[in-house]
Chains A and B, each alone.
Chain A
Amino acid sequence: MTGNYGEFAVCCENITKTYPPDIQALKNIDLKVSPHQIFGIIGPDGAGKTTLFRMLTTLILADEGKATVLGYDVVNDYQEIRKYVGYMPGRFSLYQDLTVEENLKFFASVFGTTVEENYDLIKNIYRQIEPFKNRRAGQLSGGMKQKLALSCALIHKPKLLILDEPTTGVDPVSRREFWEMLQNLKNEGITILVSTAYMDEAGLCDTIALILNGEFLKIDTPKNIVQQFEPEIFSVQSNQRSKLLTDLRRLPEVSSCYAFGDSIHVTVENKKISEEELQNFLLKNGHEQIEIAKIEPTVEDCFMELSKQQEENN
Chain B
Amino acid sequence: MLASKPMPARKYVVNITVNGMAHEVEVPARRMLSDLLRDDLHLTGTKRGCETGICGACSVLLDGEVVKSCLSLAVQAKGRSITTVEGLAENGELHPIQQAFMDYGGLQCGYCTPGMIIMACALLKHNPTPTREDVRHGLNGNLCRCTGYVQIVDAIMAAAEKMK
Q: Do A and B bind each other?
A: no
